[in-house]
Structure 1
């Protein structure tokens, strides 16, 4: 069962995302190895609590084993919140703060300028992978994006994810390496109704 997340789900959803991203190339590149798991969880918690739930759309499975966080063209205030959170995010990045800034700058060059539903993060707890849960929470957002008549966009730094997203109608719009020895990253766009 997929449902929209509530404020009370933030803690467990952050746990799921932290577990899902424990070895993800982007977060390993942009968040300090020093106490990495704690930093990563707080990064995800802030995004959920300050951006996703109040300003975007967040879908979870019933057991909170899968989480998808979207921002939309109607996510009023999300950009201002991200700017307000920047000092905290830089602190969480620790000694990887320059890599985080460089990665964001490079990715921004490949982001659409037109309105999109932006899949900011999606993850499945490692113990629950392979059951279609990630696809289910993403599909909920895609249905809403289609209903709004707006394309969907995402970025991934895991080669294995590209095929999954292509199967959901996304196409690669850019493929590039992040600066400072960062991982290969793919920007992907899904037209309305794909």
Structure 2
């Protein structure tokens, strides 16, 4: 999946000492981020199950539409994090700190999320709400089991295909994790890809819960702050 025209520079020459910075995603890049995320997650088992028998093109269209509105809801604060190189988006994730309010009805109205049943059908929306409720239930159980601390949440971590394997994701996420460390906050995430478990483990996350579903396994991972 490309960002804007061309690939994000010559990554064979990149090193961790290069001046790459983590910034808040600007509003004009919301659509670019949604395209990147849709391409990354369209084969993710929960989203495949969510979209049912729909083909890949339909799934990409739905995910891009959904992610763009999800990111737009969070655009007012520092939740949407991005790394650019030569003006192109190469990494993106959402870092939701405890002071960020939950998404409400007005947010969904403002961004058009409530149009989803009319655009994509009630079935996919029903499955989406069920998936969201299940995720939130598991999340609350994990937090309660660890003493109900305030936590940061890591979501939608993606790296441009042309920039993968270069340490960009680790570098960018590491900057956000330092913020959590400074605030004394644990970070919680969920993944349905076993290879991601290995990636996040290298950054200090530990598997705290494993749930088996009909079509996939979900791993919840928690990283305690480094003091």
Give me the TM-score of the superposition, normalised by structure 2: 0.74
1:104-119 → structure 2 map (5 Å cutoff): 104-111=132-139, 112=143, 113-119=148-154
Q: Give the whole-Å Cα distance in 2 for the aligned partners of 1:6 and 1:124.
A: 17
Tell me which structure has the larger Cα radius of gyration: 2
1:135 and 1:44 mapped to 2: Cα distance?
22
Name the Cα RMSD after superposition: 2.4
**Is the 8 Å Cα contact of residues 73 and 107 (structure 2) preserved in structure 1?**
no
Q: Hey, which bits of structure 1, 4+ residues long, moved more than 6 A?
A: none
Residue correspondence of structure 1 range 85-104 to structure 2 within 5 A: 87-88=114-115, 94=121, 95-104=123-132
The number of residue pairs the alignment matches comes to 190
The equivalences for 1:44-193 within 5 A come to 44-51=67-74, 53-62=75-84, 63-76=88-101, 78-80=102-104, 84=108, 87-88=114-115, 94=121, 95-111=123-139, 112=143, 113-178=148-213, 181-193=214-226
CA distance 1:30–1:56, change in 2 (3 Å): farther
Using the TM superposition, give the Cα deviation of residue 41 of structure 1 relative to its aligned residue in structure 2, in angstroms. Answer: 0.8
List gaps (5 residues or longer) in structure 1.
none
TM-score (norm 1): 0.85
Distance 2:83 2:151 in 1: 24
Structure 1 CA distance, aligned partners of 2:120 and 2:162?
26
